[in-house]
Amino acid sequence: MAKKMDKLLLSRDDAVLCVIDMQEKLLPVIHNKDKIINNTLRLIRFAKIIGLPILLTEQEKLGATVPEIMAEIPNPDPMKKFEFSAVRCSGFIERVKQLHRKSLILTGIETHICIAQTALQLLPHYTVHVISDAVSSRSPDDWNIGLQRMRRSGVVISSTEMVIFELLEKAGTDEFKAVLPLVK
């Protein structure tokens, strides 16, 4: 039973945070854009506290990643893509393989396009967690349909706080104290 439970939970030694296409030209038309930016920033700050690797993609022709997100990522090296799925982006899978991790945590835009295609293509080989309050689309309907389709396909749908506390595992540590401002 313990082994089955461990498989259902994220482990900091096996996870990667992937920030997908949080770009200047598309964000103005995204539903709940401020919430998505804030939750993505919380996840990036958390990843830095616990030492979680961060991967970043940018869709060609949509401008740079928004400055506040770019400023938070240590040594950002965005992978440029024309493809909707990050899996088809040159270098993405190679970077994931170099990290020797099997769980990917996805944030970004748009839920029903780039997030969904990336998640669905990763599924056969990786455990995929999509953070419902850190992804969005132009339309709330597309966001909802994207999440439903991914959930039915086996993607784990989670929230920012669920992921933070799941990876943190316990209270009373220096890490816990450093994370408290992110969850208050």
pTM, to two decimals: 0.94
pLDDT bin (cut points 50, 70, 90) of residue 184 is confident
pLDDT tens-digit map of 146-160: 999 999 999 999 999
Can you give the length of the chain in residues?
184
Q: Which residues pair with 58 in a beta bridge?
A: 80
pLDDT tens-digit map of 64-88: 999 999 999 988 899 999 999 999 9
What does the pLDDT read at residue 90? 85
- Mean pLDDT for all residues in the chain: 94
pLDDT tens-digit map of 35-44: 999 999 999 9
Give me the amino acid identity at 96: V
Rounded-to-integer distance, Cα 31 and Cα 180, Å: 27
Residue 4 pLDDT more than 70?
no
What does the pLDDT read at residue 126? 96
Average pLDDT rounded to a whole number, residues 1-25: 82
CATH numbers and ranges of domains, the chain: 2-183 (3.40.50.850)
Residue 6 pLDDT more than 70?
no
Contact status, residue 69 vs residue 40, Cβ threshold 8 Å: yes
For 15-78, the DSSP string reads EEEEEE--BTTTGGGSTTHHHHHHHHHHHHHHHHHHT--EEEEEETTS-SBPHHHHHHSSS--P
Rounded-to-integer distance, Cα 2 and Cα 138, Å: 41
